[in-house]
Amino acid sequence: MVIGLCKLCREQRGLIDSHLLPKSAYKQLRGRIAGRQSPVILNPLTGTAFSSDAQVTQFLLCKECEDLFSKKGERQLGKLWSTERGFALRDSLHKLKPIASKRHVTAYNANEIADLDSLFYFAISVFWRAEVWGWEGRSNGGALGAKYSEMFRSFLLQKGEITDAYLIVSVNSNSRYDYIMSFPTARKEYGGVLHMFLVPGLRFELLIGKAIHRTLAEVFKMQGRVLINMFEFEKTPMFAQWSIFANCGADIKGKLKIQTAEIRAGREVVK
Ligand SMILES: [Zn+2]
């Protein structure tokens, strides 16, 4: 067993080989591209994509803290996201009356069908993990900054609250691109810093800032700190570029350079 300082509780303890993105998500991705067993993972930080069973792990947390992450966030998420057998959150949203619809995006008040606190906790746990992760030369740490990093840590330990952070969970309305995952990135957007990652069928975006655009601030004031919307991922510019994977899925060998403006922008970690 590896003994070290747990990054969350900061106690000297036996450490677990923690995942940056949930281990169960890798399982969902296996075999979902025709003719290919291993999942495709996008790493906007390095501008690469890789098809591999290798999972990004690090000795980061003690068992108690890892269990806390699982109990407070990941377990609930595992009941909602896209799997080979179905996509519970999408199915539930289809039964709800939308609260707003603009162009191709539909917004829902999802309080009655999903535990939004768990989704928020899960998102915070991933963004915080990316912040404290040792990136071996590649830097994602620093995107949150010291103040939010400490605020998030305290929240994850259930000792404090988070202010000025708003979560947008987007649900893919078309299963074609459900099988993609991506590591957290950050960029300036909507008057704050927008942090983003993908797990099967879901995109998590966390907008952090004291002076986010007024319209968005008003929406969050009415709806609470978590918004759920649904649209076809395929129709966003980012996914149009990533469709390379759908078209040549079986041909991906090793590392593949992704050359899109969106991803390059995503690599620029801003403070
Ligand atoms: Zn710990």
Please indicate, yes or no, if residue 116 is contained in any of the structural domains. Answer: yes
Give the Å distance between the CA of 250 and the centre of ligand 1: 41
- Number of structural domains found in the chain: 1
Measured in angstroms, how far is the CA atom of residue 11 from the centroid of ligand 1?
A: 6
Give residue 125 CA to ligand 1 midpoint distance, Å: 13
Average pLDDT in the chain:
80
Within a domain: 229 = yes
Q: Is residue 12 part of a domain?
A: no
What is the C-alpha separation between 258 and 147, in angstroms, rounded? 33
Predicted confidence (pLDDT) per residue in 55-75, tens digit:
778 899 999 999 999 999 999
3-state secondary structure of 52: coil
pLDDT (0 to 100) of residue 3 = 94
Question: Confidence class of residue 41 from pLDDT cuts 50, 70 and 90?
Answer: low
**φ, ψ dihedrals at 220, nearest 5°:** -65, -35
| Predicted confidence (pLDDT) per residue in 178-189, tens digit | 877 888 888 899
Q: Distance, CA 19 to ligand 1 centroid (Å)?
A: 14
Question: Would residue 2 count as lying in a domain?
Answer: no
pLDDT (mean) for 211-234:
90
Distance 68 CA to ligand 1 centre (A): 9
Mean pLDDT within 12-30: 85
The domain of 165 spans 21-54+65-267
| Interval between CA 159 and ligand 1 midpoint (Å) | 14
Better pLDDT: 52 or 127: 127
Residue at 60 is within a domain: no
Q: Which amino acid is at 52?
A: S
Q: 259 C-alpha vs ligand 1 centroid, how far in Å?
A: 39
Dihedral of the alpha carbons of 40, 82, 229, 208, in degrees to the nearest 10: -50
Give me ligand 1 centre to Cα 247, in Å.
43
Position 114 confidence tier, pLDDT thresholds 50, 70, 90: confident
Q: What is the DSSP letter of 140?
A: -
In a domain, 3, yes or no: no
pLDDT of 245 > 60? The answer is: no
Residue 16, in any domain of the structure: no
Distance 148 CA to ligand 1 centre (A): 19
Q: What are phi and psi of 108, to 5 degrees?
A: -130, 150
* Ligand 1 mean position, distance from CA 145 (Å): 21
Compute the distance from residue 197 Cα to the ligand 1 centre, in Å.
24
